[in-house]
Amino acid sequence: MFQWYVINTYSGHENKVKQNLEHRIMSMNQAPHFRRVVVPTEQVIETKDGQKVQTEKRVLPGYVLVNMNLNDEAWGVVKNTPGVTGFVGAGAKPVPLSQPEVDRILHTGPGAPGAPVRAQVQFSLGESVKVTSGPLSDFDGEIVDVNADQQKLKVLVDIFERQVPVELGFDQVKKID
């Protein structure tokens, strides 16, 4: 029975492990026991130098998902792949993922419109920022609230010697070095 398993790898070597495992599956004639090898990623929007850039980030650094029919031969193929440190599970027996877990990690299943794009939060509470656009352009302020889902910040801006809370978008401010 085909199920999803999680294998632990050296951090940063996920893509290399995926390539090595796929090569070993083919060279050892184990393709009937494996369906997919996946490094879970998601699209993230980062702001660099005032520009929005879409990049791909690993959802689970240090882990690779494998859809396989677990038997002794298939277990050996995975376990002896360079860069693999083992299966995730209790003791020596790997524990398969449930379907809802797989759907959440891979952004599949009912109601999933593909991989969502989310903003990389690069602001933290108490940081000083400069407003770059809008009517308060060139004012400085301090971050008092971060809403990553809506990509908004609440910033205390000094206006006429008073601190006024202002809601701004991630793209309307930049960090003060």
Q: How far apart are CA 156 and CA 165, in angstroms?
A: 4
pLDDT, tens digit, 9 for 90 and up, residues 87-116: 888 667 788 888 888 888 887 655 445 545
In CATH, the number for domain 128-175 is: 2.30.30.30
pLDDT, tens digit, 9 for 90 and up, residues 40-61: 888 777 777 767 788 888 888 8
Comparison of pLDDT for 120 and 123, the residue scoring more: 123
pLDDT, tens digit, 9 for 90 and up, residues 70-91: 888 988 899 999 999 888 886 6
Domain boundaries, the chain: 2-119, 128-175
Q: Which DSSP string do the residues of the chain spell out, in sequence order?
A: -EEEEEEEE-TT-HHHHHHHHHHHHHHTT-GGGEEEEE--EEEEEEEETTEEEEEEEESSTTEEEEEEE--HHHHHHHHTSTTEEEESSSTTS--PPPHHHHHHHHT-STT--SSPEEEPP---TT-EEEE-SSTTTT-EEEEEEEETTTTEEEEEEEETTEEEEEEEEGGGEEE--
Name residue, tokens 């599949």.
108
Q: What percent of the chain has pLDDT over 90?
A: 31
Class of domain 2-119 (CATH, top level): alpha beta
